[in-house]
Amino acid sequence: MAISTTIYNTFFRRNSVFVATIFTGAFAFGIGFDTAVTTFYDRWNKGKQWKDIRDKYVQPADE
Amino acid sequence: MLSRQLGAGALRNAVSAPSFRLKNPLAAPRAFAQVRNASSASSSSPLESFLNSRITLVSVSLFTAGSVAWYTHLYGSLPFISQVHASHASDEGLHPPAYPWSHGGPLDTFDHASIRRGYQVYREVCAACHSLDRIAWRNLVGVSHTTDEVKAMAEEIEYQDGPNDQGEMFMRPGKLADYMPPPYANEEAARAGNAGALPPDLSLIVKARHGGPDYIFALLTGYVDAPAGVEVREGMNYNPFFPGGAIGMARVLFDGLVEFEDGTPATTSQMAKDVVTFLHWSAEPELDERKKNGIKAVILFSALTLISLYVKRFKWTPLKNRKILYDPPVDKTH
């Protein structure tokens, strides 16, 4: 009960805080979800993508 | 005892009630004999008039014709009726086997080293006849080559540009924004150079052919001698995977034809696999990104589906579990 009361008082009591929480949460979830999927995707396709083989072809001069 | 009870009226019951059962199986023949006598005795029996009516004839004919048409539509031909075809099944071309492509799975990207080798095969072998209109030099950057490499490759080709101050067209070395140079100036020149056969543009060839990459790999590696009895005209080549069997393109990939810079042995199948991977990329350059978006979409939509199912059950629980009692009105007159 105490936890739900705290959550209610923190996030739901004021509409401005509630809306800000939703927007911030959506933004953070978007970044986190994208990062997680990309990490999995790169691990699954290890060694196949251009960024994995790029080092073999880049000349040291343009680095 | 059953037959004794059956009159003309009992027949109507028998026809209208399919679940009519005889209590004594041994009595059944006698019962039906009695029924037949009864029906023939009265000419206006319902069964008789039903069987002899035109509506029955027409509806049975329609049903039969409909069944035949439906079956033919579904399976193409009727059973037990032999057919004669002017063409042979081999004229449709062999179905290619399903090859285990490195990008075949729902989560797999292209093997970009393979794309790079495939570009080399295209440039050194295919580009002699086949154009690649929809791929620009810049498309290779970050996919199979670095910017400097692509710039150097593009500068080797002369492109027509202009007009300049004098109103004249001039030639200049290629830029990243230029498209791959075509081997022939126009379609007529391409046909004239290939005995009337037009080498198709390869930009979207993987999407454009039934069987996709499997078909192209099978075609490139599938050249064999024509079997006995098959006549291949002058200038044509036999390939069982090509519809019709005779293809204008000769076998071009032979072991050791190109030398890969990464040391991969240039066998026929290796070159065919690499060039098909390259052509698959040129047809679907968005494949890597599309598959990544697909992972996200499946995860998100699965979660949303589960949530909506839960919410539905949650909201409907009181409605589903309520009990409706009928409280009859009390008669107040007494």
Look at the pTM and tell me if it is higher than 0.80: no
Distance of CA B31 to the CA centre of its chain: 59
Which one, of B111, B101, B144, lies nearest residue B288 by Cα?
B111
CATH of the domain at A45: 1.20.5.260
Give the count of alpha carbons within 13 A of A32, CB side only.
6
The pLDDT of B310-334, averaged and rounded, is 91
Q: Which domain holds residue A35?
A: 2-49
- Give a yes or no: residue A54 inside a domain: no
Q: Tell whether B140 lies on the interface with A, counting CB pairs under 8 A.
A: no
Check whether B6 has a pLDDT greater than 70: no
Mark the binding-site residues of B, compressed into ranges.
Answer: 126, 129-130, 249
Closest chain A residue to the Cα of B290, Cα to Cα: A41
Check whether B16 has a pLDDT greater than 50: no
Residues of A in contact with B291 (CB under 8 A): 41
Over pLDDT 70: what percentage of chain B?
Answer: 87
Distance of CA A33 to the CA centre of its chain: 5
Question: A12 vs chain B: nearest CA distance in angstroms?
Answer: 20
Q: How many domains does chain A divide into? A: 1
- Give a yes or no: residue A40 inside a domain: yes
Please name the fold of domain B95-287. Answer: Cytochrome Bc1 Complex; Chain D, domain 2 (1.10.760)
- Give a yes or no: residue A60 inside a domain: no
Question: A10 vs chain B: nearest CA distance in angstroms?
Answer: 25
The pLDDT value given to residue A60: 67
Which one, of B121, B165, B168, B126, lies nearest residue B144 by Cα?
B121
- Give a yes or no: residue A59 inside a domain: no
C-alpha B236/C-alpha B195 separation (Å) is 9
Residue B61: both structure tokens together: 């004919």
Q: Do B107 and A57 touch (CB under 8 A)?
A: no
Residues of A in contact with B262 (CB under 8 A): 56
Closest chain A residue to the Cα of B295, Cα to Cα: A37
Q: Tell whether B286 lies on the interface with A, counting CB pairs under 8 A.
A: no
Question: A32 vs chain B: nearest CA distance in angstroms?
Answer: 12
- Give the other-Cβ count within 10 Å of B271's Cβ: 28
- Give a yes or no: residue A58 inside a domain: no
- Give a yes or no: residue A62 inside a domain: no
Q: Do A48 and B299 touch (CB under 8 A)?
A: no
B221-266 pLDDT, tens digit each: 999 999 998 889 988 999 999 998 899 999 999 999 999 999 999 9
Q: Do B148 and A41 touch (CB under 8 A)?
A: no
Closest chain A residue to the Cα of B142, Cα to Cα: A50
> How does the average pLDDT of chain A come out, rounded?
91
The pLDDT value given to residue B50: 86
Residues 14-43 of A with CB under 8 A from B: 33-34, 37-38, 40-41
Residues of B in contact with A34 (CB under 8 A): 296
- Give a yes or no: residue A55 inside a domain: no
**B147-155: long-range contacts (C-beta < 8 A, 24 or more apart)?**
B147/B176, B148/A59, B148/A62, B149/A57, B150/B176, B151/B175, B151/B176, B154/B178
The pLDDT value given to residue B258: 94
The pLDDT value given to residue B28: 46
B116-150 pLDDT, tens digit each: 999 999 999 999 999 999 999 999 999 999 999 99
Q: How distant, in Å, are the alpha carbons of A26, A29, B303, B322 from that of B310?
A: 22, 22, 11, 19
B179-231 pLDDT, tens digit each: 999 999 999 999 999 989 999 999 999 999 999 999 999 999 999 999 998 88
B19-30 pLDDT, tens digit each: 444 444 444 444
- Give a yes or no: residue A56 inside a domain: no
Closest chain B residue to the Cα of A52, Cα to Cα: B112
Q: Do B112 and A48 touch (CB under 8 A)?
A: yes
Kindly indicate the confidence band of residue B33, based on its pLDDT and cuts at 50, 70 and 90: very low
The pLDDT value given to residue B333: 81
Kindly indicate the confidence band of residue A27, based on its pLDDT and cuts at 50, 70 and 90: very high
Domain boundaries, chain B: 2-75, 95-287
- Give the other-Cβ count within 10 Å of B241's Cβ: 23
Check whether B41 has a pLDDT greater than 60: no
Q: Which among B111, B112, B300, B302 is the top mutation candidate for probing chain A, defined by the most A β-carbons within 10 Å of its own β-carbon?
A: B112
What ipTM was assigned to the predicted interfaces of this complex?
0.85
Question: A41 vs chain B: nearest CA distance in angstroms?
Answer: 7
Which DSSP symbol is given to B145?
A: B
Q: For the CA atoms of chain A, what is the radius of gyration? A: 22
